[in-house]
Structure 1
Amino acid sequence: MNTSQAISAPAVAGLADRRLDWRHKAVPANANGTSHAEFLAAKHTLADLQTPLLTLDARALKVNADRLAAWCTDHGVLLAPHGKTTMSPQLWAEQLNRGAWGITLANYAQLRVAAEFGVRNLLLANSLTDPQAIKWVAAADATILSWVDSVATVALIERTLADTEGVLDVMVELGGYGGRTGARSVEAAMDVALAVNDAQHLRLVGVSGYEGALAHTADDAGLAAVRGYLANMRLLHEEILGAGLYGSDSVIITAGGSAYFDDVVSVLSPCMGTTAETNPTVPNSLKVDLMIRSGAYIIHDDGFYRVISPFSREGGQPFRAGMHGWARVVSQPEPGLAILDAGKRDLPFDEGFPEPQLIGPALGGAMEPLEGAKITAINDQHCFMTFPSNVTVTPGDVVRLGLSHPCTAFDKWSVIPVLADTGSSTDAGSSADLTVVDLIHTFF
């Protein structure tokens, strides 16, 4: 897919003209006033930056993006990466360039960012209930699919668009008890599908859901919950087919975050293809695509996704961790305790605390594995790091941190430096290339 067709290449390229200044905490003071392009032309390295800091790894981003794109091609499924993970049009472009159908987003504000950068195909993984948002989507010059999970939501959209000619393409969302949004049973979801069929301003184009809200582990119980839910999604699709409620001859079934996308394909792939092949009892032949929405995969991590990702669980080659935190020791007030200058305002902590990996006397200098150290608490601006007695830690030392959960890392940074290759979690720096090769802009 050509980026110019899927997203505005000039708009993305225009980020290189943005000026860097005091508003971007990753930018050093001596680069104040330079443009993105000028900063890169200066060939800065990690040593030119300062702590606290979040960086990305260019090699990891490429490996991860290439790998899932190839996996989707091999399995014949569409990919609409959840863009809320990064809110970075530069990274969206990389995903679209590798054949992604479009970008998934979570709310109206995020849709407006995507529209500003000319993204052509969008999936809103939510129901539209704000009147301004409903009217904006109905009038948008882009393909935008959204979800509905109740008859009341269908009625709200109908009232909002009553005096317009707007028509929303919607998908019925199936949820599960204890989950997030979504009709709580196949029967309730069928009521929603019937309401859409009767509506003047909605068209039913698929079935949607999110299995990650129902499990948080890859043990037998977690996987059973996911697979049972997906089986219900398939049942819902088949009942909608049988009732002739789809309003298009091309429909989409979508589920799949970064934790269980393999199970999504395993359970739902029998629905793919034309219904003349998969369900001959359906009067009119429809084309059915399966779409996954993995978002965190392009960054991956050293925590939650390292454990739960299908590529980690398969025992094969996992995704590479594509982000790291860098923090400096500001105090060593007690034996075995160091206070670092990064905290909740800088690093993710909701899916596990950062993991100390390497330590060295200077940012960008030689580092050694930091064995036995642990982050035990995090304040707004500080981490508490304990370490064993055989390890020497001094104020001014720099610690590289492995992180968990990209979705709550990116929102803390408006500009994120990209290093060529930060090496592995135990690499002491001998094979790392710490040249700054790009700056990623985010729009939260």
Structure 2
Amino acid sequence: MSRSPAGADPATPYLRVDVARLRANLERTARWAADAGVALRPHAKTHKCLEVARLQLDTGAAGLTVATIGEAEVFVDAGVEDVFIAYPLWLTDQAAARLRDLAGRADLAIGVDSAEAAARAARLLEGSGVAALMEVDSGQHRSGVAPETAGQLAVAAVEAGLPVRGVFTFPGHSYAPAALRTAADDEARALRVATASFRAAGLEPDVVSGGSTPSLEHTHTEELTELRPGVYAFGDAQQWELGTMEPADLALVCRATVVSHAGGRIVLDAGSKALGADRASYATGWGRLPAYADARVVQLSEHHAVVDLADAPLPALGTYVDVVPNHVCAAVNLADTLWAETGGGLEAWSVAARGRNS
């Protein structure tokens, strides 16, 4: 960890974290989960950062969720003892060897959504202690089996020799303005049916896992044992526009410099290579500016962000402006460092799991 010289900012564009806001987000969600009687297993693909992971664990997280074996390796190497790879892995010999190494140092679970993948995992991971959760589709229609077949899949996994811990889903279709509550309802139905199918097959799921940041407050917590939100830690422009987080809750911005007034607008030095290129169908621009509620990033190139400030006066050339990325996970994945405001200046937090995509 390094510290920026007193009074000096890193060169723009860079990602800046308000640690007080980050802590408040983590503590608020941890209290909510504890009051609801469910475990919190946040998704670390959002931040990929050891310092943020430690804060999450210190505020009550039961463990971490990751998307890849590489991410799991980074966090287990740093001492995290409980990790779920929430992805339907298709194992190679090399991947299985990496999982075996991790299982010797942490409680490790993986995702499965086919009998073929379960049988392969059982053969390659035999005796390792790695467990599996069966993935069900709760409405996003990405991966996962139909909820009513979850028990059948679990039986196939058990018969192949793969320990089964439970069932999981991701209500990713919650990322739409009218879907926050309905996606949570879909998730609850899917998990209820999946749990019933386990029991009909003579199995009891110890873990029933779900959750997303947009649908979090609508979650039917009586149907789950754990939640796996990720974006809640930082927030982003998507959460702002969905109404699930207020601007005052957003803990990460991209600090950029005004480099041009061309066309009567401001041009910033933070393009898609700093902010990410994601723009959901409901998004009103390529990012939002906390200091200018009516402003929109109306054009994004690799190194340019063109901002229409509406009726606000143009800040002078050389002025710093903060932009909230549309999708914080994508923006963080483009950065080597998060610059954390700790009250005593800026600390450099490494994006330690950046690039660990396999």
TM over 0.5: yes
Point out the more displaced range, 148-157 or 80-89. Answer: 148-157
Partner of 2:298: 376
Q: Deviations over 1:313-350 (max 9, x none)?
A: xxxx887110122222222233x233221111111341
TM-score by length of 1: 0.71
CA distance in 2, matches of 1:145, 1:319: 36
Partner of 2:351: 442
Cα distance change on mapping 1:165 and 1:400 into 2, 3 Å: closer
Q: Deviations over 1:54-88 (max 9, x none)?
A: 21101101111111111111111101110110010
- 1:346-357 matched pairs, under 5 angstroms: 346-351=274-279, 352=283, 353-357=286-290
Cα displacement (A) at 1:127: 2.0
CA distance in 2, matches of 1:415, 1:322: 15
Counterpart of 1:155 (choices 103, 119, 127) is 119
Cα distance change on mapping 1:397 and 1:168 into 2, 3 Å: closer
Q: Is 2:214 aligned against 1:264? A: no
Look at both structures and tell me which one has the larger radius of gyration over its CA atoms.
1
> Taking every aligned residue pair, what percent have the same amino acid on both sides?
24
Counterpart of 1:211 (choices 171, 177, 187) is 171
CA distance in 2, matches of 1:49, 1:216: 33
Cα distance change on mapping 1:175 and 1:343 into 2, 3 Å: same
Q: Is 2:26 aligned against 1:91? A: no
Amino acid at match of 1:158: A
Counterpart of 1:230 (choices 169, 173, 188) is 188
Instruction: Check whether the contact 2:50–2:75 (CA below 8 A) recurs between aligned residues.
Output: yes
Instruction: Check whether the contact 1:227–1:267 (CA below 8 A) recurs between aligned residues.
Output: no
Counterpart of 1:297 (choices 232, 239, 257) is 232
Q: Deviations over 1:327-379 (max 9, x none)?
A: 22222233x23322111111134144122344xxxxxxxxxxx4654321111
Partner of 1:367: none
Cα distance change on mapping 1:355 and 1:318 into 2, 3 Å: closer
Cα displacement (A) at 1:222: 5.3
Q: Deviations over 1:273-306 (max 9, x none)?
A: xxxxxxxxxxxxxxxxx100111111113x2112
Instruction: Check whether the contact 2:138–2:170 (CA below 8 A) recurs between aligned residues.
Output: no
Amino acid at match of 1:145: A
Partner of 2:27: 66
Q: Is 2:262 aligned against 1:328? A: no
CA distance in 2, matches of 1:102, 1:171: 15
Cα displacement (A) at 1:167: 4.3
Partner of 2:42: 81
| Number of residue pairs aligned between Structure 1 and Structure 2 | 345
Cα distance change on mapping 1:318 and 1:261 into 2, 3 Å: farther
Amino acid at match of 2:304: H
CA distance in 2, matches of 1:196, 1:127: 13
- 1:43-442 matched pairs, under 5 angstroms: 44-45=6-7, 47-131=8-92, 132-139=94-101, 140-141=103-104, 142-161=106-125, 164-176=126-138, 179-183=141-145, 185-200=146-161, 202-212=162-172, 214-219=173-178, 223-246=181-204, 251-266=206-221, 268=223, 290-301=225-236, 303-308=237-242, 312=245, 320-334=249-263, 336-351=264-279, 352=283, 353-358=286-291, 370=292, 372-388=294-310, 391-420=313-342, 436-442=345-351
Amino acid at match of 1:350: D
CA distance in 2, matches of 1:134, 1:309: 41
Instruction: Check whether the contact 1:204–1:245 (CA below 8 A) recurs between aligned residues.
Output: no
Cα displacement (A) at 1:439: 2.3
Cα displacement (A) at 1:177: 5.9
CA distance in 2, matches of 1:127, 1:306: 30
TM-score by length of 2: 0.87
CA distance in 1, matches of 2:310, 2:248: 31
Q: Deviations over 1:137-187 (max 9, x none)?
A: 2342210111111111112223434xx53343111110156521101x234
Question: SS of 1:345's equivalent?
Answer: helix
Partner of 1:424: none
Structure 2 segments unaligned to the other structure (5+ residues): none
Partner of 1:25: none
Amino acid at match of 1:356: L
Cα distance change on mapping 1:267 and 1:179 into 2, 3 Å: farther
Instruction: Check whether the contact 2:151–2:199 (CA below 8 A) recurs between aligned residues.
Output: no
Amino acid at match of 2:345: V
Instruction: Check whether the contact 1:86–1:410 (CA below 8 A) recurs between aligned residues.
Output: yes
Amino acid at match of 1:217: A
Question: SS of 2:206's equivalent?
Answer: strand
Question: SS of 2:23's equivalent?
Answer: helix
Cα distance change on mapping 1:413 and 1:326 into 2, 3 Å: same
Instruction: Check whether the contact 1:416–1:441 (CA below 8 A) recurs between aligned residues.
Output: yes
CA distance in 2, matches of 1:188, 1:307: 36
Cα distance change on mapping 1:411 and 1:225 into 2, 3 Å: closer
Instruction: Check whether the contact 2:22–2:234 (CA below 8 A) recurs between aligned residues.
Output: yes
